Chains A and B, each alone.
Chain A
Amino acid sequence: MERDSFLRFKRPLVAGTKPREAKSGGLLAAFHDMPIVVKIALFWLLFIVTAAIYARIDRIFGQALPLQDPFHQPFLFGEASPVEGPSSAHILGTDVLSRDTFSRLLHGAWVSLAVAVTVVVFGIVFGGFIGAFVGYVRGRSEAVVMSSLDVVLAFPPLILLLALVSIYKVRSLTLIALVFGVLSIPTYVRIARASTLALASREFVQAAEAIGTKRRSILFREIIPNIMPALFAYALISAGFVIVIEGTLSYLGLSVQIPEPTWGNMINEGRRDIRQTIMPIFWPGLFLTLTVVSLNMLGDWVQQRVAVRSSAL
């Protein structure tokens, strides 16, 4: 018996009956199709997103919601001590400056979320459109765009980022997210173009051209909707990748500055007391790893489904 978990179609119980197409049920059916680990990954991501938004709203309203203040150092008021273990007041303990770890993790989640979302949106919207346009229209614009992309892609990503980030002294979240967003467009363009090239020679596109549909219309109605699955699969993986790079950058102190919490700079600050306890490093490291693992697993799973569908056509 084939233990091929990549097969999307269930075996027919009776010979001759149609295999059940899982995707025809929509999102809910897709959810039921997920292996349990992918479900867990999805739940973790939902938790992180909710937590990040909650922390952000808390921040906007001046710490009004039930969540510890990530900047408050109770040690200065004789209340808690640095690097404390879990307690009723501090669910995951305190960090090196006696600030609540859990609340800082949630606020840090917002930074990672903001960067990841910016990258995905920029990538799919700008990268997808440019890639589809260049892949469909071809000609000189394709040559120009692809060669300029080659230059950007010629740099190892971290190096280019370091160079860019070192230019601006002001390290606001908006700026960092924008830089990440812009730098991730090239790979999305490549993927969109590759998918478009594969699609452009297909019958339905040729048919549309034959009946005289405007190219603009074909681009938006035939091509772009069909490259979305591939772009989305990559988006999940690139979100994970970008979160790691942002973590690396903030570990080096080159992203959003302290005292703003980010997972990366929490790890950096935690190094001070590493001989006593690894907990201040453990929690942000765990959150980082779990988030990236979840994004990768989800991205892998989406990629499998997309691959089956496009090869079945």
Chain B
Amino acid sequence: MGKILTVRLARLVATLFAVSLLTFLLVEQLPGDPVTALLPPEALHDLATIERIRAELQLDDPAIVRYGRWVGDALQGDLGKSYITDQRVADAIRDRIPVTMELALLATVIAAVLAVPIGAFSAYREGGRFDRILSGFTTAALSIPAFVAAIFFIWLFTLKFNWLPSTGWNRITDKGVIANLKTAILPASALALAPLAINARLIRADMIGTLKEDYVLSARAKGLRDRYILMRHALRPSALTAITVFGLQLGSLIGGTVVIETIFALPGLGTRLISGIYQRDVMMIQGIVLFIATVYVVVNTIVDLLYLALDPRIRRQ
């Protein structure tokens, strides 16, 4: 077990380095000189100033050196400063993490909480009308793109019914949980549609198998109520796959919030990344992409290891 752990951790570190290298190389390719983007047009023919700024920012060093410096700084928590807004990248990320995190978490929770009853009941009444309607619903929910669902929700709940706001974000620290939820529920629901459908299908498929097991039959023979059997006995074996899937979804949702944040104008990582892309803000793009990719890789590794720890069968391979 310890050996598997060390191997996995070593792979994690190697992957993270490769990810940072790839990010750096990608952003290197961005055309345009950061200095010309920084300076006002009048200053552009003052070659001395340009040279001075380039020396200050150490832009003329070879790529390897700059990469090494960037990674070294990053490991200490310094992701550089934006050339365009002069804000420290690490600060920008720290400001915006709570929004993105809460959005991803809320979406995962909604998807998990709703998927269980839907999947369980579909499995219970397999082939029945409820099952078929829900199967159609899950296929639709899987297929509708998140941003289309988001715009539809805005149209429905803000413009038609005026129940919920369509833009902005109330921080819990500022205005309390209820106000926060009012701004968070629409984007989280739009994000949750696809994971909800996937989880419901998974739970349904798993439980159809579980319900055929002998111990379920004996529970029924004992006279236990169906709902009790469903919730206590039939769900347990699916818990393992369910947890793995939820964990993986949480990881990928962190990157997937980008568009939803843009649509709802939430002050999260996604909007900062997009505005960085529009402005060619090299350091910001680099920093945010590295951060998101790192979280994604780490979460996936944790889920992998958790799965290994929970399912003894895998360990023996």
Q: Does A34 contact B (CB under 8 A)?
A: no
Q: Which residues of B contact A297 (CB under 8 A)?
A: 139
Check A159 against B293 for contact (C-beta < 8 Å): yes
B127 within 8 A of A: yes
User: Does A76 reach chain B (CB closer than 8 Å)?
Assistant: no
Give the Cβ gap from B31 to chain A, nearest Cβ, in Å.
Answer: 7
What is the CA–CA distance of A288 and B252 in the complex, to the nearest angstrom?
22
Give, as a whole number of angstroms, the nearest-CB distance from A74 to chain B: 26
CB-based contact B22/A296 at 8 Å: no
A169 neighbours in B (Cβ, 8 Å): 31
Residue of B nearest to A41 (CB): B139
Give the complex CA separation of A158 and B261 in angstroms: 14
Q: Residue on A with the closest CB to B15?
A: A154
Q: How far is the CA of A5 from the CA of B4 in the complex (A)?
A: 41
Contact B296 A154 (CB under 8 A): yes
Q: Are A163 and B23 also in contact (CB < 8 A) when A154-B297, A248-B259, A278-B155 are?
A: yes
User: Are B19 and A154 in touch, CB under 8 angstroms?
Assistant: yes
**A residues within 8 A CB of B26?**
163-164, 167
Task: Judge whether A260 is part of the interface by a CB distance below 8 angstroms.
Answer: no
A296 engages B15 (CB within 8 Å): no
Q: Looking at chain A's contact residues, is the secondary structure mostly helix, strand, loop, or mixed? A: helix
User: Is A275 an interface position by the 8 A CB rule?
Assistant: yes
Decide if A163 touches B151 in the complex (CB within 8 Å): no
Are B145 and A292 within 8 A (Cβ)?
yes
Residues of A within 8 A of B140 (CB): 289, 293
Is the pair A240, B143 in contact by a Cβ cutoff of 8 Å?
Answer: yes
With an 8 A cutoff between CB atoms, is A232 at the interface? Answer: no
Least Cβ–Cβ distance between A306 and chain B, in angstroms: 16
Report chain B residues within 8 Å CB of A152. Answer: 22
Q: What residue of chain A has the Cβ atom nearest to residue B152's Cβ?
A: A285
Determine whether A251 belongs to the interface, using a CB cutoff of 8 Å to chain B.
yes
Residues of chain A at interface, number, CB under 8 A:
40
Q: A156-B255, A163-B26, A293-B139 are in contact. Are A275 and B151 (CB under 8 A)?
A: no
* A164 CA to B26 CA, complexed, in Å: 7
CB distance from A45 to the nearest CB of B (A): 13
Cβ-defined contact, B145 with A296, below 8 A: no
Residue in B closest to A284 when the chains form the complex, CB atoms: B148
Q: How many angstroms between the C-alpha atoms of A147 and B17 in the bound complex? A: 12
Interface residues of A in 127-145 (CB under 8 A from B): none
**Considering only CB atoms, which chain B residue lies closest to A150 in the complex?**
B15
Smallest CB gap from B252: residue in A: A156
Q: Say whether B151 contacts A281, CB under 8 Å.
A: yes
Chain B interface extent, by class: 35 or more
As a 0/1 sequence over residues 46 to 60 of chain A, the CB contacts with chain B under 8 angstroms (1 = contact) are 000000000000000
Contact B151 A267 (CB under 8 A): yes
Contact with B along A153-184 (1 / 0, CB 8 A): 01111110011101101000000000000000
Alpha-carbon distance between A147 and B11 when the two chains are bound, in angstroms: 9
Chain A residues near B27 (CB-CB < 8 A): 163
Is the CB–CB distance between A155 and B277 below 8 Å? Answer: no
B285 within 8 A of A: yes
Please determine whether A271 and B29 come into contact, CB atoms closer than 8 angstroms: no
Query: Which residues of chain A are within 8 angstroms of B139 by Cβ–Cβ distance?
Result: 293, 296-297, 300
B-side binding surface: helix, strand, loop or mixed?
helix
Which B residues lie within 8 Å of A162 (CB)? 258, 273-274, 277, 289
A151/B18 in contact, CB under 8 A: yes
Q: Beta-carbon contacts of B68-94 to A below 8 Å, as 1s and 0s?
A: 000000000000000000000000000
A247 proximal to B (CB < 8 A): yes
Among the listed A147, A156, A278, A289, which residue makes an inter-chain contact with B254, where contact means beta carbons less than 8 Å apart? A156
In the complex, A224 has a CB within 8 A of chain B: no
> Closest chain A residue to B27 by CB distance?
A163
Interface flags, A241-261, vs B, CB<8A=1, else 0? 000100110011010000000
- Chain B residues numbered 202-231 whose CB sits less than 8 Å from any CB in chain A: none
Whether the pair A289, B148 counts as a contact (CB closer than 8 A) is yes
In the complex where A162-B273, A167-B26 touch, is A156 in contact with B293 (Cβ < 8 A)?
yes
Determine the chain B residues whose CB is within 8 A of the CB of A295 once the complex forms: 143
Contact partners of B13 in chain A: CB under 8 A: none
B147 at the interface (CB under 8 A from A): yes
Q: Are B148 and A267 in contact (CB under 8 A)?
A: yes
User: A233 → chain B, closest Cβ, in Å?
Assistant: 16
Known: A156-B293, A275-B159. A251 touches B22 (CB 8 A): no
- Is residue B292 within 8 Å, beta carbon to beta carbon, of the partner chain? yes
**In the complex, A288→B251 CA distance in Å?**
26
* Residues of chain B with a CB closer than 8 A to A151's CB: 15, 18-19, 22
Residue A216 CB within 8 A of the other chain = no
Chain B CB within 8 A of A3 CB? yes
Q: Is A155's CB under 8 angstroms from B31's CB?
A: no
Taking Cβ atoms with an 8 Å cutoff, the residues of B that contact A are: 11, 14-15, 18-19, 22-23, 26-27, 29-31, 126-127, 136, 139-140, 142-148, 151-152, 154-155, 159, 251-252, 254-256, 258-259, 262, 273-274, 277, 280, 285, 289, 292-293, 296-297, 300
Selected A-B contacts with CB under 8 Å, 18 pairs: A150-B15, A154-B18, A154-B19, A156-B251, A156-B254, A156-B292, A156-B296, A158-B258, A162-B258, A244-B143, A247-B145, A248-B145, A252-B262, A267-B147, A289-B144, A289-B148, A293-B139, A293-B144
Q: A248-B147, A289-B144 are known contacts; what are 4 more A-B pairs with Cβ within 8 Å?
A: A162-B258, A163-B23, A167-B29, A251-B259
Closest CB pairs A-B (n = 10): A156-B255, A292-B143, A293-B143, A3-B127, A151-B18, A166-B277, A285-B148, A244-B145, A159-B255, A167-B29
